[in-house]
Structure 1
Amino acid sequence: MEATFPFNVRVYGILINEQKELLVSDEFEHGINFSKLPGGGLEYGEGLRDGLKREFLEECQAEVTVGEHFYTTDFFVQSAFSKNQVISVYYRVSLVQPLNLEFREKPFDFEGQTGEVKQSFRWIPLSRLQPEDMTFPIDRHVIKLIVENPGRLL
């Protein structure tokens, strides 16, 4: 009998602007609000860097250059949406062209959006960044690493 391994591989980008602010995505999906870094699930046959470029195009309508690897999950986390184990990989990214998005000031400001899936973006200054700004445990861990050593990203 062949074993199956229910892994969910995800890839995320750490984008910091010239004002030393981190780009955060606020989303509503599956009936819940959550805050995370831009990115998402890897598709079959896709490499990590290509997957991250695709995710930025889908979510932010932006082309990015994928830079230095920052972190890969090194502890067990079960998906909030399934029984799969989540493995997340984080890279520093830079923009090829400026973002053409409407930025919000408050979390979960989906004004004008309808439907079952909603998304908005905001910038959080690194000086005010906290793990609690994120919803999921791996993202919180990554934010903790950024807060403890912001110079690693600047």
Structure 2
Amino acid sequence: MRQRAAGILFNAQNQVLLMLRRKNGKSYATLPGGGIEEGETPAEACAREVLEEVNLVVEVGPEVLVLDNLQNHEHYFLTRYVSGEMRLGDGPEGTIRQSEENWYQPEWVELSRLEEVNLVPEQARGLVRGLAEETA
């Protein structure tokens, strides 16, 4: 199984940061994250992946979910903004993977619109809602 880490980041406007995706003709959204590299902890991978994908430095907080999803063993962390301007980062998503068929776009999504977004995996939607209520 591939090891993966993702970050959950809220802003003061009651929005969550998602990576909107289009791949193989399918549109969906994920929480920013990616593969854990050799020698990295899941928390270190979360911070690195958020920086690579959306150009933000975050402080990684508690691990809030671990699940097996498709061929991934995934670690989800609550994160806190430290610095940076949100945009498609300088990692592979923004440099070598971006194409008409494989498209990435980070976006702040209103929690009230969460049901309109095809957020995967499905467990992420409930997790985001629950954390938003706890941190409000």
Bin of the TM-score, shorter chain as denominator length: 0.7 to 0.9
Paired letter, 1:77: N
CA distance in 2, matches of 1:60, 1:45: 23
Write the deviation string for residues 73-127 of structure 1: whole angstroms up to 9, x where unpaired.
Answer: 1xx532xxxxx3x21111111121142427xxxxxxxxxx746542111122123
| Among 80, 83, 88, the residue aligned to 1:97 | 83
Q: Moved runs in structure 1, 4+ residues, more than 6 A?
A: none
Write the deviation string for residues 24-43 of structure 1: whole angstroms up to 9, x where unpaired.
Answer: 10123466443101011111
Structure 2 residue 69 is matched with structure 1 residue 77: yes
| Among 88, 105, 117, the residue aligned to 2:74 | 88
2:95 alignment partner in structure 1: none
Paired letter, 2:2: N
1:81 alignment partner in structure 2: none
Distance 1:50 1:148, change over 3 A: closer
TM-score, normalised on structure 1? 0.69
CA distance in 2, matches of 1:135, 1:125: 13
Q: Mind listing any 5+ residue stretches in structure 2 that lack a counterpart?
A: 89-97
Q: How high is the sequence identity, in percent, across the aligned residues?
A: 28
Structure with more helix by fraction: 2
Q: Mind listing any 5+ residue stretches in structure 1 that lack a counterpart?
A: 1-6, 79-83, 103-112
RMSD: 2.4
Write the deviation string for residues 108-152 of structure 1: whole angstroms up to 9, x where unpaired.
Answer: xxxxx746542111122123322x623433xx2121233356322
CA distance in 2, matches of 1:152, 1:69: 15
Q: How many residues align?
A: 127
Structure 2 residue 120 is matched with structure 1 residue 136: yes
TM-score, normalised on structure 2? 0.77
1:8 alignment partner in structure 2: 2
